[in-house]
Amino acid sequence: MQTRFRFRSPIGGLAADLSAELRPVASRPPAGVVVGRGVWLVPPEGGVHWQDLAWLCLGVSLCGRELVEARPGGVAVVVDSLAYPLADYLPEAAALVMEEFLLTELGREGRAGRVTYCSRHRAYAFDWGTERPFSEL
């Protein structure tokens, strides 16, 4: 499934395009990264930058509890591609597009991840809905 994330700002904006799917699995898939109990992320076959991989994992973890509830036997989030069309590049956008994909797949609402732009500091600010965004599921 193709998912797009877009955020406009006075200096341009952030954008990320993700192609991914959910696959039921009973054990760790080849090249799978453990995100939580029975939840794996499988990066694209051609590889991905380490920062993009870390933020994709965070995006999965934002929906981790919902994934475990919906797929108690185990699930792999298989990423076919991640691209950043003409926009400001920040790897955090990978987490936001992943969360959007998973919320759509699970039929849920209520994003945890949010981005704002601070004109005073000329910078993006991210809020992950938790004090410890890279904690275990």
For 79, phi then psi, to 5°, come to -95, 120
Amino acid sitting at position 99: E
Question: Do 5 and 100 touch, CB atoms closer than 8 A?
Answer: yes
* Cross-strand bridge partners of residue 78: 21, 42
**Which pLDDT score, from 0 to 100, does residue 27 have?**
85
Whether 123 and 90 have beta carbons less than 8 Å apart is answered as: no
pLDDT at 16 over 90: yes
The CATH code of the domain at 2-127 is 3.30.230
Q: What is residue 133's predicted lDDT score, i.e. its pLDDT?
A: 74
Residue 116 confidence class, pLDDT cut points 50, 70, 90: very high
Confidence of residue 136 (pLDDT cuts 50, 70, 90): low
Give the start-to-end residue ranges of the domains of the chain. 2-127
What is the DSSP annotation of 82-99? EE--SSB--THHHHHHHH
Question: Angle at CA 22, nearest 5°, toward 127 and 63?
Answer: 25
Question: Rounded distance, CA 27 to CA 64, Å?
Answer: 17
Question: How high is the pLDDT of residue 75?
Answer: 96
Q: What is the mean pLDDT of residues 56-83?
A: 94
* pLDDT value at 87 more than 90: no
Q: Does 12 have pLDDT greater than 70?
A: yes
| Token code pair at residue 85 | 């069309």
E strand segments, the chain: 2-9, 12-24, 33-36, 39-42, 75-83, 114-118, 123-127
